[in-house]
Amino acid sequence: MAVSSKESRVEALTALLFIMPNVLGFMVFLLFPIAASLLLAMFRWSPLHGARQFAETAEFLGLSNFWSVIGVHTHGGSWQVNDPYFWKYLGNTVFLMLGIPISIIGSLFIANLLNKKIKGAPFFITVFFLPSIVTGVATFVLWGVLLNPESGMMNALLSMVGLAQPVSALAAALSIENPLLWHTSELWAKPTLILIQLWASIGGYNMVLYLAALQSIPDSLYEAAEIDGAGAFHKFVHVTWPMVSPTTFFIFTMSLITGFQGGFTVAYVMTEGGPAGATTTISYYIYNLAFSRQFDMGYASAVAWVLFVITLVLSLVNWRYGRRRVHGEFGT
Amino acid sequence: MSEMIGPEPVEVDPGAGRRSPWTPVIYLVLILFAVTTVFPLLWVVGAALKPTEEITSRPLHIFPDVTQWTLSRQVRADDILDWEAFGVRLREGAPPDANGPRARVWQLLPPEARGAAEELASGAEPTDERRRALVDGLNAVLERRDLYEEEAFARIAVPDTASDLLRRGRQEISGRQVVHLNRLLLEASFGRTLREVRTPFDNFHKALSMVPFAWFFINSLLVATAVTLGQVTTSACAAYAFARLEFPGRNKIFLGYLATMMVPWTVVMIPTFVMMRAFGWIDTYWALTVPAMFSAYGTFMLRQFFLGIPKEYEEAAKIDGCGYFGIFWRVILPLSKPALATLALFTFIGSWNNLITPLVFIVSEEKMTLPLGLTLFQGMHDTDWGALMAGSLMMLIPMMVLFAIGQRFFTRGIRLTAGKG
């Protein structure tokens, strides 16, 4: 067996050569920063003091940085959170994630229609997929112009079809901000950003995933359901929904992870996190802390780690409990 | 956009091959959704071709007013809206004590044109002969490098394209640009009697002259290409090892890769910034490209694909005397073209749309990529919607073209990443 052990040594060495570039880059630009970030999260430090003098300028705070993010203190006899901004922006992040279920339902709905063996399905898929490709600074600039409350196209359209006046009147009657102020209103900025993200997400990746899942459902299942006298509704509930549940689970997990990290670009371009911090997400908060206002990189790292832990815990909970509800084997 | 947020699809009949009575409704919903989806993207094309006043004018104009377009700035007979008034204004430059642009035009005008102007000013019929004399004369004047004076432009509102030209000085600009400036001067000094010319590219000229858009575009192209090449290469190599070669710790290392895919970019960004500063890479292309060349996602996706390639191909190559490199180069890579194309497309688009990396690492305008350049532009000229839309369109078009070319790879690739592994 000497030959085969020599062969396997050659194979291992070859493998080392093949993975080397990637693993090196991975260690330098991912593993090292992750470790450094955890370390940085225990210091008060700003790069304004100079990168090389870390040892002299950084002040060790230990775990108290994390406590400053999530902890509470007493003030005048009542409990108060240490960092009210963190909680507010976490709330914003979660609010923006309310678009996830809508997006998932929308994707499944559209995929279901496309799965009807209709003519021109590839054309529709192409059109629906386009926004998810181009979404970014350019489309956010575009939406900012379209939704401009004074002279934007959307409000002009709405008043043309006679919707603008009743909506404004209703908002006035309820004495809330006018929804037609879109992203410039503190109340409606988040729903507006959700709509913009739905535009890009419903017809995107998730729809294609659902379409693949729907196409792999064997016709025999539907035929069997028909023999049992199931109508369209029952077939959807008892065949389609369980059969696509692994896809739903995958999409939900991914959306959860990206949702907690998201919201930066759209808010940076359209609202700068405003009005009054209404669209600042945790990612935006970290960016502001580290790169824009205070350059407080230690505290920013602590917030980033809290975000990481939240994502991790929720993903694990989702994995633990969601997986049971999933029909069949979930393979990735 | 209520049709986007549809109800639970209860009324449909999943999986059935036959035509259902719902088919017209299905088409209607799909078409409505398609219209909602593409409407903003079509609108931006129209808006990029319109001046801002036309974008905001009510009632709504969907299409740009093409009747106002011209490709040349030469004076045409129908550009002169009122021959008599135009003649009167021209003649105001005739007295020897007159000065200003009208006087300069009069002095440079050939004698036949002057004669025609005199006659028109005193109410003569604008015959073909008089018109031609005047229009030819004006076009000759338009080409004169010594017509316009920079001080004249201080009193009239010039577009930014013109002020950019003015900064460059008379001898450095081309004949066409001289005509452009002279035409602006004529339009300003003859008021409503001479039509303003409008080319479909005015907004693009404006955007290009306000910020270094050409640089943004080139930088985006360079950075996205470098990142794509780097990421596909390193990912393909590592994926081959993970999928096909036996080595100690293989599965553990691979699991480590997968685990890091959940780490938020905010965690990595801060130490990376410190590191880039230590390397002296801030405000260089290195910071935009090198860290982005290594991707756990790309490795994972290609590994999934490589696992699906039947081992028999390799055995055959081995018998033909291929080593590991030979198998990788001659068997695995050629068989994986669709997967490689998918990864390349996704990486390119991800890089093209990336705002945060240049935002954190780039300071000088000429090193910015389009996403950052566009936000800079938006911050400076957020009321000039025409130019803003032209800028957005310049960022969108390459993506749309790429999508049109590689459309089939996208849908295939998505199934690959979430598929059975």
pLDDT value for B159: 64
Handedness of CA A39, A42, A43, A44 (dihedral sign): positive
The CATH architecture one would assign to domain B213-418 is Orthogonal Bundle (1.10)
- For chain A, say whether B380 makes contact (Cβ under 8 Å): no
Q: Are A306 and A70 in contact (CB under 8 A)?
A: yes
The reply to whether residue B14 touches residue A157, judged by beta carbons under 8 angstroms, is no
Domain count along chain A: 2
Is A197 part of a structural domain of the chain? yes
Contacts of A95 (CB under 8 A, 6+ apart): A190
Asked whether residue A114 falls in the same domain as residue A50, the answer is no
Find tokens 């629906």 and name the residue: A128
Residue boundaries of the structural domains of chain B = 2-68, 77-197, 213-418
Residue B113 binned pLDDT confidence (cut-offs 50, 70, 90): confident
What distance in Å separates residue B334's CA from the closest CA in chain A?
17
Tokens representing residue B147 in the block: 């017509």
Closest CA to A285 of A269, A303, A312: A303
- Average pLDDT value for residue range B36-62: 83
Is A331 part of a structural domain of the chain? no
Contacts of A303 in chain B (CB under 8 A): 266
**Nearest Cα residue in chain B from A266:** B355
Is A212 part of a structural domain of the chain? yes
Helix (H) or strand (E) holding A60: strand A59-60
Contacts of A41 (CB under 8 A, 6+ apart): A65, A66, A298, A301, A302, A304, A305
Tokens representing residue A286 in the block: 């970290």
- For chain B, say whether A195 makes contact (Cβ under 8 Å): yes
Asked whether residue A64 falls in the same domain as residue A187, the answer is no
Tokens representing residue B288 in the block: 């935009």
Rounded to an integer, what is the distance from CA B149 to the centroid of its chain? Answer: 34
Closest CA to A92 of A268, A331, A291, A285: A285
What distance in Å separates residue B100's CA from the closest CA in chain A?
38
Q: Share the mean pLDDT of chain A.
A: 88
The reply to whether residue A136 touches residue B352, judged by beta carbons under 8 angstroms, is yes
What distance in Å separates residue B248's CA from the closest CA in chain A?
7
**How far apart are alpha carbons B119 and B126 in whole angstroms?**
9
The reply to whether residue B247 touches residue A260, judged by beta carbons under 8 angstroms, is no
Contacts of B58 in chain A (CB under 8 A): 156
Choose the closest CB to B270 out of A125, A257, A290: A290
The 10s digit of each residue's pLDDT in B328-337 is 998 899 988 8
Closest CA to A189 of A258, A284, A110, A107: A284
Q: SS3 string of chain B?
A: CHHHCCCCCCCCCCCCCCCCCCHHHHHHHHHHHHHHHHHHHHHHHHHHCCCHHHHHCCCCCCCCCHHHECCCCCCCHHHECCHHHHHHHHHCCCCCCCCCHHHHHHHHCCHHHHHHHHHHHCCCCCCHHHHHHHHHHHHHHHCCCCCCCHHHHHHCCCCHHHHHHHHHCHHHCCHHHHHHHHHHHHHHHCHHHECCCECCCHHHHHHHHHCCHHHHHHHHHHHHHHHHHHHHHHHHHHHHHHHHCCCCCHHHHHHHHHHHCCCCHHHHHHHHHHHHHHHCCCCCHHHHHHHHHCCHHHHHHHHHHHHCCCHHHHHHHHHCCCCHHHHHHHHHHHHCHHHHHHHHHHHHHHHHCCCHHHHHHCCCHHHCCHHHHHHHHHHHCCCCHHHHHHHHHHHHHHHHHHHHHHHHHHHHHHHHHHCCC
The highest-confidence range among A100-109, A153-162, B15-24, by mean pLDDT, is A100-109
Is A161 part of a structural domain of the chain? no
Q: Are A149 and A155 in contact (CB under 8 A)?
A: yes
Q: Are B419 and B354 in contact (CB under 8 A)?
A: no
- For chain A, say whether B391 makes contact (Cβ under 8 Å): yes
Domain end point (choices A27, A55, A76)? A76
Q: Are B14 and A113 in contact (CB under 8 A)?
A: no
Higher pLDDT, A259 or B408: A259
Asked whether residue A115 falls in the same domain as residue A194, the answer is yes
Rounded to an integer, what is the distance from CA A19 to the centroid of its chain? Answer: 30
**How far apart are alpha carbons B360 and B375 in whole angstroms?**
13
Contacts of B253 in chain A (CB under 8 A): 19, 23
Report the CATH number that the domain containing residue A221 is assigned in CATH. 1.10.3720.10
Domain end point (choices A76, A98, A113)? A76
Find tokens 């996403």 and name the residue: B371
**Nearest Cα residue in chain B from A126:** B407
Q: Are A241 and B12 in contact (CB under 8 A)?
A: no
Asked whether residue A28 falls in the same domain as residue A116, the answer is no
The reply to whether residue A308 touches residue B34, judged by beta carbons under 8 angstroms, is no
The reply to whether residue A141 touches residue B374, judged by beta carbons under 8 angstroms, is yes
The reply to whether residue B14 touches residue A301, judged by beta carbons under 8 angstroms, is no
The 10s digit of each residue's pLDDT in B367-406 is 999 999 999 999 888 788 888 999 999 999 999 998 888 8
- For chain A, say whether B4 makes contact (Cβ under 8 Å): yes
Tokens representing residue B273 in the block: 């910034």
**How far apart are alpha carbons B88 and B103 in whole angstroms?**
13
Choose the closest CB to A203 out of B37, B277, B414: B37
What distance in Å separates residue B131's CA from the closest CA in chain A?
42
Asked whether residue A120 falls in the same domain as residue A266, the answer is yes
pLDDT value for B93: 82
Helices and strands in chain A: count of H runs, count of E runs = 20, 4
From first CA to last CA, the distance across chain B in angstroms is: 37
Q: Are B322 and B331 in contact (CB under 8 A)?
A: yes
**How far apart are alpha carbons A239 and A235 in whole angstroms?**
5
Contacts of A307 in chain B (CB under 8 A): 264, 266-267
- For chain A, say whether B97 makes contact (Cβ under 8 Å): no
Choose the closest CB to B268 out of A18, A34, A102: A34
Residues 131-170 of A with CB under 8 A from B: 131, 133-139, 141-146, 151, 153, 156-157, 160
The reply to whether residue A145 touches residue B47, judged by beta carbons under 8 angstroms, is yes
Residue B37 binned pLDDT confidence (cut-offs 50, 70, 90): very high
What distance in Å separates residue B319's CA from the closest CA in chain A?
15
Is A167 part of a structural domain of the chain? no
Residue A265's domain spans which residues? 84-137+177-325
Is A290 part of a structural domain of the chain? yes
pLDDT at A2 over 50: no
pLDDT at B218 over 80: yes
Asked whether residue A111 falls in the same domain as residue A196, the answer is yes
The reply to whether residue A115 touches residue B14, judged by beta carbons under 8 angstroms, is yes
Helix (H) or strand (E) holding A74: strand A72-75
Tokens representing residue A153 in the block: 């196209």
Residues 242-281 of B with CB under 8 A from A: 242, 245-248, 250, 253, 257, 260, 262-275, 277-278
Q: Are B245 and B306 in contact (CB under 8 A)?
A: no
Q: What is the DSSP letter of A26?
A: H
Q: For residue A44, which phi and psi values (nearest 5 degrees)? A: -100, 115
- Measured at the CA of B70, the angle between CA B64 and CA B72, to 5 degrees, comes to 150
For residue A90, which amino acid is it? L
The 10s digit of each residue's pLDDT in A272-288 is 998 999 999 999 999 99
Asked whether residue A123 falls in the same domain as residue A39, the answer is no
The 10s digit of each residue's pLDDT in A163-218 is 989 999 999 999 999 999 999 999 999 999 999 999 999 988 899 889 888 988 88
Asked whether residue A256 falls in the same domain as residue A224, the answer is yes
- For chain A, say whether B418 makes contact (Cβ under 8 Å): yes
Contacts of B391 (CB under 8 A, 6+ apart): A138, A141, B207, B211, B213, B373, B374, B377
Q: What is the DSSP letter of A240?
A: I
Size of interface A-B (CB pairs under 8 A): 329
Give the β-pairing of A78-81 and A43-44.
Answer: unpaired
What b/e string do you get for B363-372 counting C-beta neighbours within 10 Å, with b at 16 or more? eeeebbbbbb
- For chain B, say whether A55 makes contact (Cβ under 8 Å): no
SS3 A177: coil
Q: What is the largest CA-CA distance in chain B?
A: 99
Q: Are B44 and B107 in contact (CB under 8 A)?
A: no
**Nearest Cα residue in chain B from A102:** B5
Asked whether residue A56 falls in the same domain as residue A125, the answer is no
Find tokens 């935009």 and name the residue: B288
What distance in Å separates residue B174's CA from the closest CA in chain A?
32
- Measured at the CA of A133, the angle between CA A127 and CA A138, to 5 degrees, comes to 110
Q: What is the DSSP letter of A221?
A: H
Q: SS3 string of A243-273?
A: HCHHHHHHHHHHHHHHHHHCCHHHHHHHCCC
- For chain B, say whether A247 makes contact (Cβ under 8 Å): yes
Asked whether residue A227 falls in the same domain as residue A279, the answer is yes
pLDDT at B267 over 90: yes
Q: What is the DSSP letter of A232?
A: H
Count of residues for chain B? Answer: 421
pLDDT at B68 over 90: no
Asked whether residue A209 falls in the same domain as residue A320, the answer is yes
Higher pLDDT, A53 or A206: A206
Residues 329-368 of B with CB under 8 A from A: 349, 352-353, 355-356, 359-360
Choose the closest CB to B238 out of A18, A34, A269: A18
The 10s digit of each residue's pLDDT in A224-247 is 988 888 888 888 888 999 999 888
The reply to whether residue A208 touches residue B389, judged by beta carbons under 8 angstroms, is no
pLDDT value for B6: 34
- For chain B, say whether A293 makes contact (Cβ under 8 Å): no
